[in-house]
Amino acid sequence: MKTGSLRARVSLTILGVLAIVLAAVVTAVTLAYRAKLESDLRSRLSGAASAVEHARSPLALKVLAPGFALEGIAINVTSATLARPGERASRALVGMRPGATVRARGSLLVLDEVFGNGTRISFSASNASVDHAVTSLLLVELLVAGAALALATLLVLRGTRTALRPLSTVIETATRIAAGDTKLRLNPSRTDTELGSLAVAFDQMLDALEAAIDEARASDAATRRFLADASHELRTPIAALQASVETLLREQPQRPERDRLEAAVARDSERLGRLVDDLLGLARLEAHAAHAATDLTSIARTLVDEARARAPRTTITLDAEDNMTISGDRDALERVLGNLVDNALAATAPAGRIDVQLRRRSGYVEALVMDDGPGVPERERERIFERFVRLDPDKPGHGLGLAIARRIAHQHHGELTCDPVPNGASFTLQLPAEPSTAS
pLDDT at 289: 56
DSSP state string for 378-394: GGGTTGGGSTT--S-TT
Cis peptide before 85 (omega within 30 of 0): no
State the Cα–Cα distance between residues 26 and 20, nearest whole angstrom: 10
pLDDT of residue 316 exceeding 90: yes
Stronger pLDDT, 387 or 302, i.e. the higher one:
302
* Strands of 93-187, DSSP E: 102-105, 108-114, 120-126
* Most confident option among 8-12, 170-174, 290-294, 315-319: 315-319
DSSP code for 107: T
Position 235 confidence tier, pLDDT thresholds 50, 70, 90: confident
- Least confident among 21-35, 212-226, 364-378: 212-226
Give yes or no: residues 315 and 252 share one domain: no
Give yes or no: residues 118 and 213 share one domain: no
Residue 16 exposure: Cα atoms within 13 Å on the Cβ side: 6
DSSP code for 38: H
Give yes or no: residues 377 and 415 share one domain: yes
Position 88 confidence tier, pLDDT thresholds 50, 70, 90: very low
pLDDT of residue 96 exceeding 60: no
Give yes or no: residues 17 and 117 share one domain: yes
Is residue 180 a part of any domain in this protein?
yes
State the Cα–Cα distance between residues 419 and 405, nearest whole angstrom: 15
Structural domain containing residue 188:
166-284
Give yes or no: residues 364 and 322 share one domain: yes
State the Cα–Cα distance between residues 416 and 406, nearest whole angstrom: 5
Q: Write out pLDDT tens, residues 54-80.
A: 766 656 666 677 777 777 777 777 654
Question: Of 148, 127, 212, whose CA–CA distance to 18 is shortest?
Answer: 148
Give yes or no: residues 18 and 121 share one domain: yes
pLDDT at 425: 92
State the Cα–Cα distance between residues 206 and 185, nearest whole angstrom: 8
pLDDT of residue 391 exceeding 70: no
pLDDT of residue 20 exceeding 90: yes
Task: Quote the number of domains for the chain.
Answer: 3
Please compute the mean of the pLDDT values over residues 150-156 and round it to a whole number.
90
pLDDT at 301: 92
Give yes or no: residues 36 and 151 share one domain: yes
Give yes or no: residues 143 and 218 share one domain: no
The H or E element spanning position 245 is helix 194-251
Is residue 394 a part of any domain in this protein?
yes
pTM of the prediction? Answer: 0.47
Percent of the chain with pLDDT over 90: 19
Query: How many other CB atoms are found less than 10 A from the CB of residue 147?
Result: 10
* Strands of 28-67, DSSP E: none
CA distances from 328 to 99, 302, 361 (A): 98, 17, 18
Residues 44, 48, 53: CA angle, nearest 5 degrees? 145
The domain that holds 253 is classified in CATH as 1.10.287.130
Is residue 273 a part of any domain in this protein?
yes
**What integer best gives the mean pLDDT of the chain?**
79
Q: Write out pLDDT tens, residues 243-276.
A: 888 888 887 888 888 788 888 888 778 777 777 7
pLDDT of residue 81 exceeding 50: no
